[in-house]
Structure formats: C-alpha cells, structure tokens
Amino acid sequence: MTTTYGHLTWEEVRDADKERVVILNVSATEDHGPHMPLDTDTVLGMAVANGVAQAAPDEVLVMPPVPYGFNEHHKDFPGVIWIQPETLIAFVTDITKSLAHHGFRRILLLNSHGSNHPVLDLAARKTVIETGIICVSASYWNLMSERINEVRKSEIGGIAHAGEFEAAMYMHLHPERVHIEKSTTQNLHNPDSKFFNLDLAGGGGGAMLMRWWSEVSPDGTMGDPTVADPETGRKFLHAAIEETTALIREIRALPILQRRDHH
C-alpha cells in the first residue's frame, strides 16, 4: 500500500491498519535569507517525513503538508504568509480529529518551523483530550541535536534560521534552488548570555524572546550558511530520518490507556 495519504482511496482508508502512525508535517512559507526559497521549511519537513516512509513503509502514512505557520514576526520580509496561532491550533486539531474519526489512533505532528513548536504542542494536547488517541508533537531537529553537533562545521549560533543546517539539507535535495554565494554569516551567539542564545543544536538557554525578525536580521538569516555543503546536508537529513523513524517506533509501541473518572 502507498504511504501517501492523499493517494489512497476511501476504501483503502477504511481497510488500512489504524496502528500506522499518521505523520502531518506543519511548516511555514517565509523568508530564508537571499540564498534560499520561501518553501524551505516544507521541503525539509517533507523530506524527513517521506524518508521515514521509505525506511518504515508498513508503519506510517504521510499526510499532505500544512505549508503555512505561525510567523507574523517575519512579515517585514516580502513573501511571508502568516497564520494566527489560534487559527493554526484549530485547523490542525480539525485535521487530527478527522483522522481519529476514521479510526486512526496514532498521529505525529512533525514540525519544521521553529515558532510552530508551542502551537503544535497545544494542538497535540487538545487532540488527546478531545479524542483519546495518541498525538505527539516534535520539531525534528530536537530529536537529533547530538548528531547535528557531530557533523556541523559552524560554531554554536551558526544553526538558527536559514543557517548551515537548513542550507546544507536544501543543497543536498535541490542544489539548483540554493544560491549560497548570496549568503552571509549572521551569528548572533553571545557567550555572555546564559539564557537567550538561539542555536537549534546548542540549546536555547531556557528563556524565549522572539523579536521582530527584521530587528535582528537584515536579510532574514540567523546563523552561518556560508559553510553549508550538500554532503553535510545529506548527513543531517539521514540523521533526521533515522531519529524520526525511531520516534515513530516508540509511538507505535505506546499503549492506549484508559481514563479513570474519579467523580
């Protein structure tokens, strides 16, 4: 059976193994510096999701992506499409409730845009409360931070937004769309800060302040894309697929538990 949800017929959905984990990638359409396309988050998130489907074809179904996210703080850059967080929570929860209605019991909300992380956490929690199924949310880079640091070339602060990590993976997948010669280093890492540094594999410091993106980045970049290369990108993507597949298998092993009503 195909692992692509949209290629199924209604009869195939009816007869499908409902213990498969349904993967829904939620991403964004936004600036990624002068060197990368607006669809970066969707392309990378779906490369991970489809890579998992190749690695575990009997264990998952991959939904069409949600290519818009919570990113109004980027709107000073032309091309950005932003969705209010309340709208996005409701939209994603409607998708998960639809899947639950059709009998699916295990869903992974696979995030590929940083500011979606709290939104999808809430959508997953609401899904569990309203349906009783298992719904997990995860940003794929959080599953693999140690492996990012094993192969990265950039210093801490070099992997935040449109930096080495994303640029290298996109170069591996579609080199003709990445113009690395237009990229510049914008590493905002402050070694004197204990709480406010942003690096996807270096720890965020524990506190969150999301400023207007144009206040902190003149061209939409945060990090060091200049050191990106396709071979590093291949290693990043391979690690992302491996770790996400491991998560899928843990989700499949989770028991469906029964509530205890103490009223």
pLDDT tens digit string along 170-228?
Answer: 999 999 999 999 999 999 888 888 888 888 998 667 888 999 999 999 999 999 999 99
Q: Is residue 258 part of a domain?
A: no
Percent of the chain with pLDDT over 90: 91
d(CA 212, CA 73): 5
Q: Is residue 93 part of a domain?
A: yes
Mean pLDDT of the chain: 96
CB-based contact 161:32 (threshold 8 Å): yes
**Tokens at 238, concatenated:** 């391979």
Determine phi and psi for 157, rounding to 5 degrees.
100, -15
pLDDT for res 190: 85
What is the bridge-based pairing of β-strands 21-26 and 222-223?
A: unpaired
Determine phi and psi for 137, rounding to 5 degrees.
-120, 145
- Which domain, by its residues, includes 161? 5-253
pLDDT tens digit string along 85-118?
Answer: 999 999 999 999 999 999 999 999 999 999 999 9
Q: Is residue 146 part of a domain?
A: yes
> Cα 9 from chain centroid?
27
Q: Is residue 259 part of a domain?
A: no
Comparing C-alpha atoms, which of 110, 57, 56 is closest to residue 242?
56
pLDDT tens digit string along 28-54?
Answer: 999 999 999 999 999 999 999 999 999
pLDDT for res 206: 82
Q: Is residue 220 part of a domain?
A: yes
Q: What is the mean pLDDT of residues 120-140?
A: 98
> What is the SS3 string spanning the chain?
CCCEHHHCCHHHHHHCCCCCEEEEEECCECCECCCECCCHHHHHHHHHHHHHHHHCCCCEEECCCECCECCHHHCCCCCCEECCHHHHHHHHHHHHHHHHHCCCCEEEEEECCHHHHHHHHHHHHHHHHHHCCEEEEEEHHHHCHHHHHHHCCCCCCCEEECCHHHHHHHHHHCHHHCCHHHCCCECCCCCCCCCCCCCCCCCCCCCCCCCCHHHHCCCCCEECHHHCCHHHHHHHHHHHHHHHHHHHHHHHHCCCCCCCCCC
pLDDT for res 194: 87
- CATH label of the domain that carries residue 198: 3.40.50.10310
CB-based contact 119:90 (threshold 8 Å): no
Record the pTM.
0.97
Q: Is residue 85 part of a domain?
A: yes
Q: What is the mean pLDDT of residues 122-151?
A: 97
Q: How many domains does the chain have?
A: 1
Residue 244 has pLDDT above 70, yes or no: yes
pLDDT for res 202: 82
CB-based contact 241:144 (threshold 8 Å): no
Any residues with CB less than 8 A from the CB of 262 and at least 6 apart, and which? none
Residue 81 has pLDDT above 70, yes or no: yes
